[in-house]
DNA sequence: TCTTGATAGTGACGTTACGTCATTTTATAT
DNA sequence: ATATAAAATGACGTAACGTCACTATCAAGA
């Protein structure tokens, strides 16, 4: 049995929050002192953590209350609703991040940012809203189906499919473990070295491979900040210059 | 000069919102009818769009008010604050998306989700909070420096740097244009084919290349849903089987 | 036992960005 | 002129607490 202060120390929530949760009946202290001070036990701490977690998922306190009481509640539709919300928010955040870093760069370069750029960006930021959403929803609904499509090929022992899938599995495994990017790079290189013609012939496989990164590329493909665009232009000129004047020197160099 | 209803039709905001903005002095109608009905002009529509945009970035109406009035306001620090906020939110959303799709998969497979998994996931979701944040902040602060580091190499005409940078520029350009992933794939393949030893010798370059994708990988490396983990395990077994029994057949095949 | 500083309690009002009535007034079409 | 649509105003409600203001309790030392 610990005091309210101890709870705040261990969980980071404020006293006011705990009082509020008590007030609305969400988290009722295990007991009280003679004087009426709240006392919390282990199970209350656990429940508080669950509350914090569910809150971080965007659920309201009212919803959390029913969730923690009523076990037969309609989880799935609520999760689905949450997922939609998340998708929307991620789209927005992607846009925001890009715009803001762009504006910051501009600011850093010129010492000021004026409203004019914002006006231009406003239009832009109101496009590209549905692509990622559609992608993710389809990804979820079709995800299992796609795996099932691939499995027969794997089980039939088709070597092409098998090796591709094996290498892809390695990539994902390394990614999952947070291994050095260099390692992943090596694996990808192996794929590309060995399976050039395989990829070209088999659209399904190459599509599957690129789907892994599709959503990620989407966020990049939506546009670049002004500053980067300038750099890109410069680099493109450099490319042409290089390809025209220096291409031959590369093979024999180093 | 259009009516308030027209404004709502063109911008999607509600009448109440416009009244509210008027009330707090954020967006004052251009004029009124004899009877006192609000009338809005072109410039008000523009300003309203700016307000909507800034609001979507998370600024409060009070902040927006000063931003649209006071041009010497401290843009930069505010944007920086926003960026921090965005980074936090994206971390959370990444976690959420993963957890929720995981839970949905689980639900779809078993027809139910119990609180037990949530408890387990609670702990997990409270880790990995700082990696992406640190990365993005450092990315921004060091971003310009890195470009400046690279520029001398480019300008000096070092062919290795030049070609790498040129190809990288092509990738980014294609990504920016939303070109088929296949196209990007081809370019990457060119890089990897031509620059194997270049990459191996030059850690800085390869690091730079992978930083482009680092944040994206991070979100994948944080963990996988149960269903995917199972598939991975299966694929790993397939890998071993394949490498042991069928490896030799590949070279001569097709 | 008494005092005292820290901790805790209880209202009650403030906050954000509007939503939602309820009621009255104005504009528009017939 | 009148019916109907649109608009105005004022006021209360919402979510999740923050922030006083004031009172009461706890733990520890004198």
Q: What is the pLDDT of residues A149-175, one digit of tens each?
A: 444 443 343 333 333 343 333 333 333
Which chain A residue lies closest to B189 (C-alpha atoms)? A192
Indicate whether B60 and B113 sit together in one domain.
no
Give the per-residue pLDDT at A120.
39
Give the per-residue pLDDT at A31.
92
In a domain, B200, yes or no: no
**Higher-confidence residue: A37 or A245?**
A37
Smallest Cα–Cα separation from B78: which of B88, B69, B66?
Answer: B66
Q: Average pLDDT for residues B57-62, to the nearest whole number?
A: 72
What is the C-alpha separation between A190 and A184, in angstroms, rounded? 10
Indicate whether B51 and B89 sit together in one domain.
no
pLDDT confidence bin for A4, thresholds 50/70/90: very high
Q: Average pLDDT for residues A213-217, to the nearest whole number?
A: 28
pLDDT at residue A60 greater than cutoff 70: yes
Q: Is A37 on the interface with B (CB under 8 A)?
A: no
Chain B residues lying within 8 Å of A217, measured CB to CB: 175, 181, 184
How is residue A210 written in tokens? 């690129």
- Which residues have Cβ atoms closer than 7 angstroms to strand D? A 14, 16-17, 20, 33-37, 55, 60-62; B 3-6, 15, 19, 22, 36-38
pLDDT in tens, B119-136: 333 333 333 222 233 333
In a domain, B93, yes or no: yes
Q: Do A175 and B221 touch (CB under 8 A)?
A: yes
User: Among A97-101, A177-181, B94-98, which stretch is predicted with the lowest mean pLDDT?
Assistant: A177-181
Chain A residues lying within 8 Å of B143, measured CB to CB: 101, 105
* Final residue in a domain of this structure, among B24, B48, B69: B69
CATH number at residue A40: 1.10.1660.10
Give the per-residue pLDDT at B31.
92
* ipTM rounded to 2 decimals: 0.43
In a domain, A14, yes or no: yes
In a domain, A21, yes or no: yes
- Name the percent of chain B lying above pLDDT 70: 23
In a domain, B107, yes or no: yes
In a domain, A143, yes or no: no
The chain-wide mean pLDDT, for chain A, equals 50
Indicate whether B81 and B52 sit together in one domain.
no
Give the per-residue pLDDT at A9.
84
Cβ atoms A22, A7 nearer than 8 A: no
Which chain B residue lies closest to A108 (C-alpha atoms)? B76
pLDDT at residue B230 greater than cutoff 70: no
DSSP A111: S
pLDDT at residue B16 greater than cutoff 90: yes
Q: Which nucleotide is nearest to A35 (CA to C1')?
A: D25
Residues spanned by the domain of A55: 4-69
* Final residue in a domain of this structure, among B69, B89, B108: B69
Total of domains in chain B: 2
* Final residue in a domain of this structure, among B31, B46, B69: B69
In a domain, A11, yes or no: yes
Cβ atoms A67, A50 nearer than 8 A: no
Q: Do A83 and B97 touch (CB under 8 A)?
A: yes
Matching residue, tokens 């979507």 = B56
Out of A247-251, B72-76, B179-183, B234-238, give the one with best mean pLDDT.
B72-76
In a domain, A54, yes or no: yes
Out of A34-48, A64-78, A101-115, B146-160, give the one with best mean pLDDT.
A34-48
**Higher-confidence residue: B182 or A107?**
A107
pLDDT at residue A54 greater than cutoff 90: no
pLDDT at residue B233 greater than cutoff 50: no
Per-residue DSSP letters for A36-61? --EEB-HHHHHHHHHHHHHHHTT--H
CA of A23 and C1' of D30: distance in angstroms?
Answer: 40
Matching residue, tokens 């499919």 = A161
Contact residues, A window 179-208, toward B, CB-based 8 Å cutoff: 181-182, 184-185, 188-189, 192-194, 196-199, 206-207
pLDDT at residue B69 greater than cutoff 70: no
Which chain A residue lies closest to B246 (C-alpha atoms)? A159
**Higher-confidence residue: A238 or B61?**
B61
Q: Average pLDDT for residues A68-90, to the nearest whole number?
A: 54
Indicate whether B64 and B82 sit together in one domain.
no
Sequence-distant (≥ 6) Cβ neighbours of residue A58 within 8 angstroms: A82, A85, A86, B96
pLDDT at residue B38 greater than cutoff 80: yes
Q: Is A79 on the interface with B (CB under 8 A)?
A: yes
CA angle B177, B178, B180 (to 5 degrees): 120
Indicate whether B106 and B122 sit together in one domain.
yes
**Higher-confidence residue: A82 or A12?**
A12
């Amino acid at each position: 049995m610990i005091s309210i202060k101890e709870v705040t120390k261990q969980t980071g929530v404020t006293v006011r929050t705990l009082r509020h949760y008590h007030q609305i009946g969400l988290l009722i202290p295990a007991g009280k002192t003679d004087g009426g001070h709240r006392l919390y036990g282990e199970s209350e701490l656990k429940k508080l953590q669950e509350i914090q977690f569910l809150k971080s998922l965007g659920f309201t306190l009212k919803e959390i209350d029913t969730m923690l009481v009523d076990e037969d509640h309609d989880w799935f539709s609520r999760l689905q609703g949450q997922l939609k919300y998340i998708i929307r928010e991620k789209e927005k955040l992607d846009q925001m991040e890009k715009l803001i870093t762009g504006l910051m760069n501009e600011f850093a370069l010129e010492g000021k940012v004026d409203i004019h750029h914002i006006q231009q960006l406003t239009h832009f930021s109101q496009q590209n809203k549905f692509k990622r959403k559609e992608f993710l929803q389809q990804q979820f609904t079709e995800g299992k189906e796609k795996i099932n499509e691939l499995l027969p090929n794997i089980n039939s022992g088709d070597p092409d499919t098998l090796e591709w899938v094996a290498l892809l599995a390695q990539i994902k495994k390394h990614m999952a473990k947070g291994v050095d990017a260099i390692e992943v790079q090596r694996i990808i290189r192996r794929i590309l070295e060995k399976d050039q013609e395989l990829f070209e012939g088999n659209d399904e496989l190459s599509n599957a491979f690129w789907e892994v990164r599709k959503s990620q590329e989407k966020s990049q493909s939506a546009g670049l900040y002004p500053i980067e665009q300038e750099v890109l232009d410069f680099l493109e000129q450099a490319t042409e210059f290089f390809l025209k004047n220096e291409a031959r020197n590369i093979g024999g160099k180093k």
